[in-house]
Amino acid sequence: MPLFKSFSSFYEKSKNKEIVAGLSLISIAVLLNLVFGYFAMIFAFYLSFFKWDYIGEMQFVGLKNFAIVLRDLSRGLHGSYYLIAPFYTGLKNILIYTAIVVPVQTFLAIVLASFANQKIKGQQFFKVSYFLPATTSSVIISLIFIWLFMKNGFINYVFDLTVPGFQPIDWLNDKRYILLAISMVAIWGTSGHFMVSFLAAMQAIPKELYEAAMLDGAGPIRRFFFITIPMLRPMIVYVVVMGLIGALQMFDLAWVMAGASGGPGGAGYTVALDIYNEAFTRIRPGVAAAKSWFLFAIIFTTTYIFQKKYGRALR
């Protein structure tokens, strides 16, 4: 067994030992990532130049699929009805949704984390209850919220009790409110998750900073804005980037709460829903792949710009 022998002598060298052990430990994760991540990506890129119906042969169409997406966008910009420009509709909605969800969920997560960071009795209970939504399936959350958002549901009931002269809103059947309703569910579902990140970062802030500030006469609010927030900056950047990535490809909440066609007036339609519909309802996997690449480009540039601008300065 010359092969085994040469391998064992190769393995005996301590430096090589580390490499073999390290590579074999990561090999499964890397392999899975390669097959289901990178292969899928490469295949999607390949697919975006073809016309295919799953049954017959693939047909090369060049850049036609991308032209379809651009035509959709230009129609949307010229004010076409939402059914004629689905990708534009989805893009517009998802940008509004992201603009609502990401700042609010980040802010809320910081607030929740600073509450959970206080030495109050029973804070463990609050930590758990804030985090609980993150452990629940988003489909189940959406289904529960569908009931809460119904016209004679709990949310309208609460508003009716607290806001004088409140007219009940048909949240999920009114095109003005459905995206807001979905955003509220998303914020509720993810803030607790990010709270944990902030909590960890807060506990890593050196106590001396607060002590020094206290000696200088800084009150709790000043300490929060001039010590906590600046020290949390790397974590804020991380949370915003993760939030951006998650929000821009939102699918599950819209699918359950608005339906495959995006609910009333397409107001709950998202890019991810459109990609799904393109691939499996209109049977145009090539166009779906082209749209996926558009979405990828959007996510990549926004997160890249954000990181470039805010991610580096603190180091």
Partner 1 sequence: MKKKMVHSLVLVSVLLLAIVAAGCIGGEKETATPETIVKTETKVETKVETQEKVFIRFAGWSAGETEMKKYQALIEEFEKKNPTIGVKYEVITQMFHENILASFGAGVAPDVFYVDSSWSPIFIEKGALYPISDLADKSFIDQFYPFLLEPFKKDGKLYGLPKDWSMLALFYNKKLFAQAGLTKPPETWEELEQYAKIIAEKTGKPGLAIYLGGFNRYVPVAISNGAPKPWFEKPADASWFDNPVVKETLTWYINLYRIGKIEMENQGKTPYVVQPGDVGAGWLGDAFGQQEVAMVISGNWMIPFLADQFPDFKYGEDWDIAPVPAGKKGRATMAYTVILGINAKSEHPQETWKFVEYVLGPEGQKELVVKGGHALPSLKGFENDPDMWPQHAKTLSFKYDNVVVFLWGPKSGILEGKFSDAMAAAMRGEITPEEAIATMKQIVEEELSG
Binding site for partner 1 (CB under 8 A): 15, 18-19, 22-23, 30, 34-35, 38-39, 42-43, 46, 52-56, 81, 83-84, 173, 175, 260-261, 264-266, 280-283, 285
Nearer to partner 1, 261 or 307 (CB): 261
Q: In this structure, are residues 181 and 257 in contact, taking their beta carbons and an 8 Å threshold?
A: yes
Nearer to partner 1, 188 or 293 (CB): 293
* CA distance linking residue 14 with residue 25, whole number of Å: 17
Quickly count helices (H) and strands (E) in the chain.
15, 2
Nearest approach, Cβ of residue 85 and partner 1 (Å): 10
Nearer to partner 1, 287 or 299 (CB): 287
For the chain, the residue count is 315
Nearest approach, Cβ of residue 149 and partner 1 (Å): 13
Q: Which helix (H) or strand (E) holds 50?
A: strand 50-51
Nearest approach, Cβ of residue 120 and partner 1 (Å): 43
Nearest approach, Cβ of residue 299 and partner 1 (Å): 22
Longest dimension (CA), the chain: 88
Nearest approach, Cβ of residue 186 and partner 1 (Å): 24
Count other Cβ atoms within 10 Å, centred on residue 75.
16
Nearer to partner 1, 4 or 54 (CB): 54
Q: Which helix (H) or strand (E) holds 59?
A: strand 59-60
Q: In this structure, are residues 302 and 248 in contact, taking their beta carbons and an 8 Å threshold?
A: yes
Q: In this structure, are residues 250 and 265 in contact, taking their beta carbons and an 8 Å threshold?
A: no
Nearer to partner 1, 6 or 16 (CB): 16
* CA distance linking residue 90 with residue 269, whole number of Å: 5
Nearer to partner 1, 32 or 314 (CB): 32
Nearest approach, Cβ of residue 115 and partner 1 (Å): 39
Nearer to partner 1, 175 or 233 (CB): 175
**Lookup: tokens for 93:** 């909605």
Nearest approach, Cβ of residue 141 and partner 1 (Å): 19
Nearest approach, Cβ of residue 285 and partner 1 (Å): 8
Nearest approach, Cβ of residue 25 and partner 1 (Å): 12
Nearer to partner 1, 35 or 140 (CB): 35
Q: Indicate the SS3 state at residue 93.
A: helix
Nearer to partner 1, 243 or 263 (CB): 263
* CA distance linking residue 190 with residue 138, whole number of Å: 10
Q: In this structure, are residues 293 and 286 in contact, taking their beta carbons and an 8 Å threshold?
A: no
Backbone angles phi, psi at 74, to 5 degrees: -70, -35
For the stretch 51-57, contacts whose Cβ atoms lie closer than 8 Å and that sit 24 or more positions apart, written own/partner, are: 51/284, 51/286, 52/285, 52/286, 53/283, 54/283, 54/285
C-alpha closest to that of 185 among 249, 101, 81, 83:
101
